[in-house]
Structure 1
Amino acid sequence: MRVRPTLSWTPSEDLPPGTTDPGPVADALSAGGVLVLSGAGISTESGIPDYRGENGSLSRHTPMTYQDFTSSAQARRRYWARSHLGWRTFGRARPNAGHRAVTAFERHGLLSGLITQNVDGLHQAAGSEGVVELHGSLDRVVCLSCGGFSPRRELARRLEEANPGFAPVAAAINPDGDADLTDEQVGDFHVLPCAFCGGVLKPDVVFFGETVPPRRVEHCRALVREATTLLILGSSLTVMSGLRFVRQAAEAGKPVLIVNRDPTRGDRHARARVALPLGATLTTVAGRLGIPLDGQATA
């Protein structure tokens, strides 16, 4: 039986304070071999909210769990109605300065790898290559019966045809692409089966309560072993899927650096936490390293 993960975390008073000096990040990047682990916080400047933080979606929204999705047809109806609406907004998000800076660091040979906990595809949209999507991606759909994959855009087209006129106004869009809708707004939304076998379709993302594929976890552990420094960007590290890599790096004596305005569960393992907005911080770091962003000279 899979156990639902903890969805909230309260910082203890003995965590080290954050700093406003991005110097340690610039120093680590200048030496190269940096492995980046990004979280929802790097996408907030693209209009996608994070789970925690000051205005995090968990204060008003509990994400769909794997157990609920697989056991209840009504839960799947609610999920797909909300996700279909959210996809329209989610798909319009564009990379911000933080994503562009990470891509620039990669292209200048300063990174050994990039792992993201996000499912929004914005690192790839910014031009990053070899991104390890720890929790999968919303732009793919998988059938739970035959295991076949298909593009999300194809399912979106089918859902549009099956639900003409479906256009409720959502209260908010969440980091998993789920829109906040009432049961009345969901109504009798028509959920579609796999076009090949008639099975249940699920976005190719790791739901809360679901396990990250072991092979993917081992690949990430190998990246940690090969890196000289682990740089956390915009993750509270509340759930173990990301925190385990911080612990692995710390136990191996590798420096851990965090850029996140709020305290994180990994602060006690970090050399420093830069408590500043990500886009501005990474742009400043790029400027110190003489790395241009978007083809323009940095200040």
Structure 2
Amino acid sequence: MEDALRKIAEHCTKGGVLIFTGAGISAESGIPTFRGPDGVWKKYDPEKVATIDAFRRDPSLYWRFFLDVRLPILKKVKPNAAHYAVTELQKDGLVSAVVTQNIDGLHQAAGTEDVLELHGSTRRFLCTRCDFRCGLQEIDRILLESFPPVCKRCGAVLRPDVVLFGEPLPAGVLEAAFEAARRSRIALSIGSSLVVYPAAFVPQ
């Protein structure tokens, strides 16, 4: 193990590192993983609460899941040492890009810049019809007035700016991630099982 870590450190000091992160990097911050023994999907069936079809069928069910699992956590979690380590590597000029599968925004909270969020962010919300967008503070105010939350402009249902099961990844972000991978000398995967595609193709 020590030899392996030493080799990783040596590669990192040469720069050109693509850092690819998954749910495991945020577990220390108190955010539950999705697929682990105590993961979110042990309590909730993703087919019922996290697919685009389920959202369209019953937005209220999705929002109850979001308010129960995601929103309370988002308001109290903070970056951990791993997030700050990524930021320091970036400040030292050793990181070519940071690509994450996570939707928690903790890389940015730790000071990392230009993060490519493959699956979006639960700290942003958008209208399902028009171009209205808002953040966590405003969604709290809207939720006091309507459930599920609706757009102040057109009255359509709002949703977190995340990729639900059954939706494609945003083409622009995915292509930017692949381009970053092509420019990088080495890929360092942290906290990802690398089983969710096409995102898992990026560090490969």
Which structure has the bigger radius of gyration?
1
Q: Which has the higher helix share?
A: 2
1:238 aligned counterpart, secondary structure: coil
Q: Does 1:211 align with 2:168?
A: yes
Q: Which amino acid aligns with 1:148?
A: F
- Tell me how far apart the structure 2 counterparts of residues 128 and 78 of structure 1 sit (CA, whole Å): 33
Total equivalences in the alignment: 199
**2:133 matched residue in structure 1:** 149
Q: Map of 1:35-184 to 2, 5 A cutoff?
A: 35-63=18-46, 64-70=50-56, 72=57, 75-85=58-68, 86-162=70-146
Which runs of no fewer than 5 residues in structure 2 stay unpaired? none
Please report how far the alpha carbon of residue 54 of structure 1 lies from its aligned counterpart in structure 2 after TM superposition. Answer: 3.8
Moved over 3 A (4+): none
Q: Is the 8 A contact 2:18 2:203 kept in 1?
A: no
- Tell me how far apart the structure 1 counterparts of residues 25 and 138 of structure 2 sit (CA, whole Å): 28
2:198 aligned counterpart, secondary structure: helix
- Tell me how far apart the structure 2 counterparts of residues 58 and 238 of structure 1 sit (CA, whole Å): 15
Q: Is the 8 A contact 1:41 1:234 kept in 2?
A: yes
TM, length-normalised to structure 1: 0.63
Which runs of no fewer than 5 residues in structure 1 stay unpaired? 1-18, 163-189, 248-299
CA-based RMSD: 1.6
Q: Is the 8 A contact 1:46 1:96 kept in 2?
A: yes
Between 1:77-86 and 1:237-246, the stretch displaced more is: 77-86
Could you give the per-residue CA deviations for residues 138-195 of structure 1, whole angstroms, max 9, x where no partner exists? 1111111113222232011221355xxxxxxxxxxxxxxxxxxxxxxxxxxx312111
- Tell me how far apart the structure 1 counterparts of residues 54 and 62 of structure 2 sit (CA, whole Å): 10
**2:181 matched residue in structure 1:** 224
Q: Which amino acid aligns with 1:66?
A: I
**2:17 matched residue in structure 1:** 34
Q: Is the 8 A contact 1:66 1:207 kept in 2?
A: yes
Could you give the per-residue CA deviations for residues 263-289 of structure 1, whole angstroms, max 9, x where no partner exists? xxxxxxxxxxxxxxxxxxxxxxxxxxx
Q: Is the 8 A contact 2:127 2:133 kept in 1?
A: yes
Change (3 A) 1:143 1:161: closer
**Percent of pairs with identical residues:** 40
